[in-house]
Homo-oligomer: A and B are copies of this chain.
Amino acid sequence: MEHEDQEGAGEAAPAASTPTTGAPASSANPANPANMADVARVAGVSIATVSRALRDVPGVGDSTRERVREVAEQLSYVISPEASSLSRRETGRVAVVMPRIDVWFYSTMLSGLERALRAEGIDVLVYQVDGPAERGAFVRDLPARRKVDAVILAALPLSPEQRDRLDLLGVPMVIAGGQARGLPHVDVDDRAMARAAVERLVAAGHRDIAMVRTSDTDATTWDADLLRVAGYREALAAAGLEARPELLVTETYGVDAGTRAVERLLAVDRPPTAVFGYSDEIAAAVSVGARRHGLSVPDDLSVIGVDGHPMSELFGLSTMDQNVERQAEEAAGIAVRLIRGEPGTRSVRVRHRFVDRGSVQPPRPQD
Contact = CB atoms under 8 A, between A and B. Distances in A.
Contact size range, A: 35 or more
B86 A83 contact: yes
A168 interface: yes
A3 B160 contact: yes
Contacts of A311: 311
B128 A125 contact: no
Interface stretch (A54-62, A73-81, A264-272): A73-81
Interface stretch (A197-205, A224-232, A242-250, A336-344): A224-232
A219 interface: no
A114 B101 contact: yes
A171 to B, nearest CB: 8
A83 B146 CA distance: 11
A108 B118 contact: no
The residue in A20, A107, A114, A285 that gathers the most chain B C-beta atoms within 10 A of its C-beta is A107
A213 interface: no
25 contacts: A3-B165, A7-B229, A24-B168, A28-B168, A28-B170, A30-B168, A78-B145, A80-B146, A82-B82, A82-B85, A83-B86, A101-B110, A102-B111, A103-B107, A107-B107, A107-B110, A110-B126, A114-B126, A114-B128, A118-B127, A118-B143, A123-B143, A126-B126, A255-B313, A258-B314
A103 B106 CA distance: 11
Contacts of A165: 3
Given A6-B227, A168-B28, A79 B146 contact: yes
B7 A226 contact: yes
A167 interface: yes
Interface string A324-348: 0000000000000000000000000
Contacts of A319: none
Contact of A147 (B76, B123, B181): B123
A19 B169 CA distance: 17
Contacts of A93: 125
A11 interface: no
Given A161-B3, A313-B255, A128 B118 contact: yes
Contact of A164 (B20, B91, B255): B20
A297 to B, nearest CB: 11
A217 interface: no
A230 B6 contact: yes
Nearest to A84: B82
A111 B128 contact: yes
B314 A284 contact: yes
A238 B127 CA distance: 47
A133 interface: no
A74 to B, nearest CB: 14
